[in-house]
Amino acid sequence: MTYSTSESGKLFERAQKVLVEGVSSGSRGPLNYKPYPPYMREGKGARIWDVDGNEYIDWQLSFGCLPLGHAHPKIVEVVQSAVEGGTHFATALEVEVETAELMVNLLPNVDKVRFANTGTEACMTGVRIARGITGKRKVLKFEGHYHGWYDGLLVSSNPQIPSTLGHPNDPVRIADSSGLTPGSWEDTLVCVWNDEDAIERALAAHGHEIACVVTEAVMSNMGVIPPKPGYLKHVQELCRAHDVLFYLDETVTGFRVAPGGAMELYDLQPDIVTYGKALGQGFPVAAIAGPDHIMESIEHGKVLHFGSHNAPRLGLYATKTMLEEMTRDDNAGFKKIEAIGNEMTSRLNEVARTVNKNRMVVQSVGSMFHPVFTDREEITNYRDFCADVDLGMYRKFAAHLRENGIFMTGNTILHNLSCTEHTSQDIEDTVNAVGNALEDI
């Protein structure tokens, strides 16, 4: 059957009259899906269907929000039951306590959590906590790391022309958006990631005025770039030595790379850690977490964190159910998504070597994986990505796959993921489609 998206095209015409770019987030629109995006109607398991009836194997999974896949029967059951009792009260909840207990039991170095709605909100609070506790104002972030759309961290997150990045010893801070005042990020320092010498120099020069170093555990806004062995441990040790808080942003890796997230995977003890995406299993749920001596800072509004929609009732029922399902039978859910991610990485690299036309390399950490088109054998940091990754080739590749029933992210700088509902046949079908795509493009 010929692939058609005519109904999506009609919707796009209507949407442009009432929605900016025809969508509600730029990454979903014509920036990444030309000439217009497919509009989705339904999802179940590891599959999604658009308004034209096209069926796709889904490897984007709501940018990592769905470790159990779409419409998991247990999630459907618990949310249908819960909604009969109301949607949201903005009061203390029993399910809030139960979910927090599950999280604290899973997460090393965490005594308490505070629920929020999005990863961006959690990051804003994490930075405010660091400044409130230390009395220091500056924050150090890394090139290529994305911590949401908070003004203070919205610098040096998007791919740029390499010549604009400055010397690696003194990276140019590049604003990611119009509308940012100089004051909003004048206290934000930028450092090259995965480079021990760079972070040592930065903390030696500025440690006395830095409240926290904030880092993703895995660089996830440039495909998938793992930390070098021991690198995050070294950053943590340097933070301790310079009396700087170590803030680990697990918006992407939390409840995905291990039951205890990257803290468990890399044996870390961050002062502050934040979560989003997978935590809510498709609902907007995020969290700030840490040991008691850190989390007590937000008691009684000393460091302010409020929110009418914090701890959303229906979302927490989904979160609690997701945690129970993923940890059942000795963490079988986590083991399964890791195994699928590892197999996808191995098989896709194998087919790329076989075709040997496009120099595709797949990098991964557990259930997170992503193909990049490059002459390098490995991408290790933001500067590698900016200089040597062919985003146009990925765009053609992803479009070809969509036409053949495989939905890898259309966003050229993000990544793909596995869920518990992917099957061996899904892997086979995807590998075959990738081989055909590499031949054709």
- Give pLDDT tens digits for 136-173: 999 999 999 999 999 999 999 999 999 999 999 999 99
For residue 35, whether the previous peptide bond is cis, meaning omega lies within 30 degrees of 0, is: yes
Q: How many domains does the chain have?
A: 2
CA distance 277 to 244: 27
CA distance 256 to 278: 7
**CATH number of domain containing 402:** 3.90.1150.10
Q: How confident is the model at residue 26 (pLDDT cuts 50, 70, 90)?
A: confident
Give the side-chain half-sphere CA count within 13 A for 182. 0
Contacts of 372 (CB under 8 A, 6+ apart): 223, 360, 361, 362, 363, 379, 385, 389, 394
Same domain membership, residue 78 and residue 38: no
pLDDT for res 1: 60
Which of 266, 298, 323 lies at the terminal end of a domain, its last residue? 323
Which of 323, 342, 371 lies at the terminal end of a domain, its last residue? 323
Same domain membership, residue 373 and residue 361: yes
Same domain membership, residue 248 and residue 127: yes
Same domain membership, residue 182 and residue 93: yes
Same domain membership, residue 145 and residue 244: yes
CA distance 164 to 63: 29
Is the backbone of residue 87 left (phi > 0), alpha (psi -120 to 50) or beta?
Answer: alpha
Report pTM. Answer: 0.96
CA distance 406 to 398: 8
- Give pLDDT tens digits for 164-191: 999 999 999 999 999 999 899 999 999 9
Which of 323, 353, 372 lies at the terminal end of a domain, its last residue? 323
**CATH number of domain containing 267:** 3.40.640.10
Asked if 361 contacts 377 with a C-beta cutoff of 8 angstroms, the reply is: yes
Closest C-alpha among 210, 209, 227, 207 to residue 218: 227
Asked if 75 contacts 281 with a C-beta cutoff of 8 angstroms, the reply is: yes
Same domain membership, residue 159 and residue 216: yes
Same domain membership, residue 171 and residue 137: yes
- Give pLDDT tens digits for 260-298: 999 999 999 999 999 999 999 999 999 999 999 999 999
Same domain membership, residue 151 and residue 195: yes
Whether 180 maps to a domain, the answer reads: yes
Whether 1 maps to a domain, the answer reads: no
The answer to whether the Cα torsion of 156, 414, 180, 16 is positive or negative is positive
Neighbours of 316 (CB within 10 A): 24
Same domain membership, residue 42 and residue 182: no
Q: Which residues form the domain of 92? A: 73-323
CA distance 269 to 243: 15
- Give pLDDT tens digits for 390-423: 999 999 999 999 999 999 999 999 999 999 999 9
Whether 396 maps to a domain, the answer reads: yes
Q: Can you tell me whether residue 248 is helix, strand or coil?
A: strand
Asked if 362 contacts 349 with a C-beta cutoff of 8 angstroms, the reply is: yes
- Give pLDDT tens digits for 10-23: 999 999 999 999 99
> Average pLDDT over the chain, rounded to whole?
96
Same domain membership, residue 59 and residue 183: no
The answer to whether the Cα torsion of 190, 194, 200, 203 is positive or negative is positive
- Of the chain, the percentage scoring pLDDT greater than 70 comes to 99
Whether 153 maps to a domain, the answer reads: yes
User: DSSP for 350-407?
Assistant: HHHHHH-SS-EEEEEETTEEEEEEBSSS---SHHHHHHHB-HHHHHHHHHHHHHTTEE
The answer to whether the Cα torsion of 85, 89, 95, 99 is positive or negative is positive
Q: Residue range 347-353: average pLDDT?
A: 96
pLDDT for res 343: 98
- Give pLDDT tens digits for 43-89: 999 999 999 999 999 999 999 999 999 999 999 999 999 999 999 99
Same domain membership, residue 67 and residue 77: no
Q: Can you tell me whether residue 215 is helix, strand or coil?
A: strand
Same domain membership, residue 179 and residue 306: yes
Q: Is the pLDDT of residue 304 over 80?
A: yes
- Of the chain, the percentage scoring pLDDT greater than 90 comes to 97
Residue 320 DSSP label: H
Residues shown for the chain = 441
Whether 237 maps to a domain, the answer reads: yes
pLDDT for res 259: 98
pLDDT for res 2: 86
Q: Residue range 85-94: average pLDDT?
A: 96
Whether 12 maps to a domain, the answer reads: yes
Q: Residue range 215-227: average pLDDT?
A: 97
